[in-house]
Amino acid sequence: MKRKEDMTWWERLYLPEIVRGLLVTTSHFWRNLALHALHAVGLATDKRAAATIQYPEERRRYPDVYRGSHRLTLKEDGSVRCTSCFLCATACPANCIHIEAGEHPDPQVEKFPVRYEIDTLRCIYCGMCVEACPCDAIRMDTYVHPRIWGYDRQDFIESKEVLMQRSRTLAEGGRDSLMVQMLESYQDADR
Ligand code: SF4
Ligand code: SF4
């Protein structure tokens, strides 16, 4: 980039660059408008109308290391793997995990969570809970980002059932299943 004192009189006017910028913006605008109009009647569908991703219809695949919403993993019999040791809640810097431990009916298992909740309005998605868990009972490999709509605080509290259901949906429907489900419920809420 040139210093101001090295610029010519013509360059210091800035007008040519302003006009050039406006021409670029205007040409993109008319091109996108024309393509959107053609797409609406089913023409030129192989040409992209804009450089931006048309979310939620279009999505970029999240990387494998993406830290998404939480899930509670399950044992082979479908019960929750968590043993209510509270290590995740202790490690959580946002203090957003709330656990209520109960005696497990099976004498081989000491405890299980009667209640396990994550307040996603407080969660900072740092992953410390996953790191702290000694039995791989909580994961963030759901490839779904936090829910961003709701009408009261309770809509953002994820219960044990919600966290367990994520594991089932993922096992049954594969990597994209939770995102597809979330987009459907978002579109329903938008209607
Ligand atoms: S991701 Fe971080 S902030 Fe969120 S529940 Fe886990 S430890 Fe807490
Ligand atoms: S999720 Fe893991 S760390 Fe948290 S209470 Fe359960 S077993 Fe302990």
Residue 57 resides in a domain: no
Phi-psi region of 84 (alpha: psi -120 to 50; beta: other; left: phi over 0): left
| Residue span of the structural domain in which 109 resides | 71-190
Q: What are phi and psi of 116, to 5 degrees?
A: -140, 115
Neighbouring CB atoms inside 10 A of 63's CB total: 8
- What residues contact 51, with CB distance under 8 A and at least 6 apart? none
Four-residue CA torsion sign, 162, 168, 75, 69: negative
Q: Are residues 25 and 79 in the same domain?
A: no
The residue nearest atom 8 of ligand 1, judged by CA position, is 92
The tally of domains found in the chain comes to: 2
Residue 142 resides in a domain: yes
Q: Are residues 157 and 107 in the same domain?
A: yes
Q: Are residues 23 and 93 in the same domain?
A: no
Q: How far is the CA of 30 from the centre of ligand 1 (A)?
A: 46
pLDDT at 190: 67
Q: Are residues 117 and 30 in the same domain?
A: no
Q: Are residues 120 and 182 in the same domain?
A: yes
Report residues whose beta carbon is within 6 angstroms of any ligand 1 atom: 91-94, 96-97, 118, 123-129
Residue 16 resides in a domain: yes
The residue nearest atom 6 of ligand 1, judged by CA position, is 129
Q: Are residues 103 and 169 in the same domain?
A: yes
Return the CATH number at 121. 3.30.70.3270
Task: Give the three-state DSSP class for 42.
Answer: coil
Residue 53 resides in a domain: no
pLDDT at 96: 97
pLDDT at 80: 96
Q: Are 101 and 38 in contact (CB under 8 A)?
A: no
Q: Are residues 142 and 89 in the same domain?
A: yes
pLDDT at 187: 79
Residue 138 resides in a domain: yes
Q: Are residues 26 and 77 in the same domain?
A: no
Residue 62 resides in a domain: no
What tens-digit pLDDT sequence spans the chain (191 residues)?
778 788 888 888 889 899 999 999 999 999 999 998 998 999 988 888 877 887 777 888 889 999 999 999 999 999 999 999 999 999 999 999 999 999 988 888 889 999 999 999 999 999 999 999 999 999 999 999 888 888 899 999 999 999 999 999 999 999 999 999 988 888 787 66
Q: Are residues 145 and 103 in the same domain?
A: yes
Q: Are residues 82 and 170 in the same domain?
A: yes
Residue 56 resides in a domain: no
Residue 186 resides in a domain: yes
